[in-house]
């Protein structure tokens, strides 16, 4: 691991911070972020990854976290309430606690899942996904760089693995480049020369862990995919924003008559076809007619409608539409449009599955918006059923609750 030798070491001296009363209250309640705007006093300027200690108005310890001068989230809290040495043993404790939560998954024919979900597992800005024997570590803040050596040592203790791939968010990639770290670098073992194969609920998938979205696969939808499998028998299924065909494969395995996967990305749909093929030993997958359609979803849905096509199960799982508060209204308008298009393509008594992963859009906003859109289209949703997060994506704070999904039957007025 010679590349790690070049990394900066954590500073010996911690930064002392005082914050506004509202931020103090939030920290006491367990919120993991301190915004730049909440800082009232700071002992010195800090480098990415310096440990910052936040004190209350009476100079009592409140929390310790990772300082990030490049982000409006200036400190990401590691521990609150009680001081601690942040070292290899501390990281190992957090990794072990996160692993314990996920234990049930292995018994469900699942070797691909999220081992660490950032803030929600007490390791803010750090994601760890498992793809069978391959681990993928994704960093969303350069504040982790000085601690990477300790994190990797802890990982080797808790999750020894023959391969570990590093993924970096765009901003972090620039800051990590001078140390010889790059997005997709193999930190343990060799970079895979083909997509990595893993299992989810007994089905096989391949993921490009080096270049794929996030770390290569959207594990957060596992439970929703399993529900779709239960609902798919004999149905004509439309999977919109299909990516590598997660929902499509489950629908086929559930006995769908046909599956049409729509995505704007041709490579994503090639992966979807490959994932179908990986499960061809399953007679239901073999029997389902699978088609792919590379097209903008909004355009494709309008066109399918104009052609008079109908589906018994329409799944719509778009990317995040609102990354900032300013984008919420536009995101809601897009969800409404997609819901209107989806119900328009549903057969009588057909079903829709509508998902949102925009953390800025609350579950109520999303469910109300799509329900109203369906009403306005004259195809109201009945027997609605809502779902949230899977167990490997725990919700540790309000902003951590991003995934919501609505299942409903479409009624003719």
Active site residues: 357
Site pattern 225..264 for ligand SAH (x: CB under 6 A): ----------------xxxx-xx---------------xx
Q: Which residue is nearest to ligand SAH (CB)?
A: 246
Pick between residue 32 and residue 344 the one whose CB is nearest to ligand SAH: 344
Q: Which of 265, 309, 359, 409 binds ligand SAH (CB under 6 A)?
A: 265
CB of 1 to ligand SAH, least distance (A): 32
Task: Answer yes or no whether residue 220 interacts with ligand SAH by CB under 6 A.
Answer: no
Site for ligand SAH in 282-301 (CB under 6 A): 296-297
Angle between helices 297-306 and 328-345 (to 10 degrees): 30
Euclidean distance between CA atoms 211 and 201, whole angstroms: 24
DSSP notation for 24-35: HHHHHTT--EEE
CB of 398 to ligand SAH, least distance (A): 23
Instruction: Say how many residues touch ligand SAH, by CB under 6 A.
Output: 17
Pick between residue 241 and residue 311 the one whose CB is nearest to ligand SAH: 241
Euclidean distance between CA atoms 231 and 251, whole angstroms: 8
Give the single-character DSSP code of 234: T
CB of 333 to ligand SAH, least distance (A): 14
Task: Answer yes or no whether residue 113 interacts with ligand SAH by CB under 6 A.
Answer: no
CB of 105 to ligand SAH, least distance (A): 17
Pick between residue 109 and residue 319 the one whose CB is nearest to ligand SAH: 319
Euclidean distance between CA atoms 140 and 166, whole angstroms: 11
Give the CB-side neighbour count of residue 371, counting CA atoms within 13 A: 15
Residues 6+ apart with CB under 8 A from 267: none
The residue among 17, 152, 161 whose CA lies nearest residue 75 is 17
CB of 242 to ligand SAH, least distance (A): 6
DSSP 3-state of 59? coil
Task: Answer yes or no whether residue 129 interacts with ligand SAH by CB under 6 A.
Answer: no
Site pattern 313..342 for ligand SAH (x: CB under 6 A): ----xxx-----------------------
Start-to-end Cα distance in the chain: 64
Q: How many CB atoms are closer than 10 A to CB 25?
A: 12
Pick between residue 78 and residue 271 the one whose CB is nearest to ligand SAH: 271
Supply 50's token pair.
């310096």
Pick between residue 198 and residue 247 the one whose CB is nearest to ligand SAH: 247
CB of 320 to ligand SAH, least distance (A): 9
Task: Answer yes or no whether residue 218 interacts with ligand SAH by CB under 6 A.
Answer: yes
Task: Answer yes or no whether residue 387 interacts with ligand SAH by CB under 6 A.
Answer: no
178 by Cβ neighbours in 10 Å (0-12 / 13-18 / 19+) ranks as exposed
DSSP notation for 324-386: SGGGHHHHHHHHHHHHHHHHHHEEEEEEEEEEE--TTS-HHHHHHHHHHHHHHTT--EEEEEE
Euclidean distance between CA atoms 32 and 23, whole angstroms: 10
Candidates 196-204, 312-320, 343-351, 381-389; binding stretch for ligand SAH (CB under 6 A): 312-320
Task: Answer yes or no whether residue 67 interacts with ligand SAH by CB under 6 A.
Answer: no
Site residues (CB under 6 A) for ligand SAH?
218, 221, 241-244, 246-247, 263-265, 268, 296-297, 317-319
């Amino acid at each position: 691991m010679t590349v790690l030798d070049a990394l900066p070491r954590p500073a010996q001296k911690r930064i002392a911070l005082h914050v506004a009363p509202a931020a103090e209250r939030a920290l006491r309640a367990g919120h993991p972020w301190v915004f730049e705007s909440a800082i009232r006093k700071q002992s010195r300027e800090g480098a990415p990854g310096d440990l910052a200690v936040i004190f209350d108005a009476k100079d009592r310890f409140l929390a310790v976290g990772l300082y990030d001068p490049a982000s409006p989230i200036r400190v990401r809290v590691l521990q609150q309430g009680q001081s601690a040495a942040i070292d290899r043993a501390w990281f190992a404790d957090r990794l072990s606690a996160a692993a314990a939560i996920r234990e049930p998954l292995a018994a469900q024919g699942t070797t691909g899942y999220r081992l660490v979900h950032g803030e929600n597992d007490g390791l803010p800005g750090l994601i760890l996904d498992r793809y069978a024997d391959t681990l993928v570590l994704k960093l969303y803040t350069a504040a982790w760089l000085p601690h990477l050596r300790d994190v990797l040592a802890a990982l080797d203790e808790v999750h020894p693995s023959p391969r570990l791939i590093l993924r970096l968010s765009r901003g972090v990639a620039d800051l990590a480049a001078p140390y010889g770290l790059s997005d997709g670098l193999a930190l343990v073992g060799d970079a895979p020369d083909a997509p990595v194969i893993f299992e989810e609920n007994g089905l096989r998938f391949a993921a490009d862990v080096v270049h794929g979205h996030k770390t290569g696969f959207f594990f957060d939808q596992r439970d929703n995919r399993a529900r779709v499998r239960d609902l798919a028998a004999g149905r004509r299924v439309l999977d919109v924003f299909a990516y590598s065909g997660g929902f499509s494969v489950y629908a086929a395995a559930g006995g769908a008559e046909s599956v049409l996967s729509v995505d704007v990305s041709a490579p994503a749909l090639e992966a979807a076809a490959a994932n179908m093929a990986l499960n061809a030993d399953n007679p239901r997958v073999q029997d389902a007619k699978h088609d792919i359609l590379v097209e903008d979803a909004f355009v494709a849905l309008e066109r399918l409608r104009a052609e008079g096509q109908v589906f018994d199960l329409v799944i719509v799982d778009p990317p995040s539409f609102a990354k900032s508060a300013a984008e919420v209204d536009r995101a809601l308008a897009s969800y409404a449009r997609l819901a209107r298009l989806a119900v328009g393509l549903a057969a009588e008594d057909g079903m829709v599955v509508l998902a949102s992963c925009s953390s800025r859009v609350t579950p109520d906003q999303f469910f109300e918006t799509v329900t109203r859109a369906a009403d306005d289209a004259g195809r109201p949703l009945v027997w609605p059923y809502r779902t949230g997060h899977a167990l490997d994506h725990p919700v540790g704070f309000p902003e951590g609750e991003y995934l919501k999904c609505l299942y409903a039957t479409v009624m003719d007025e």
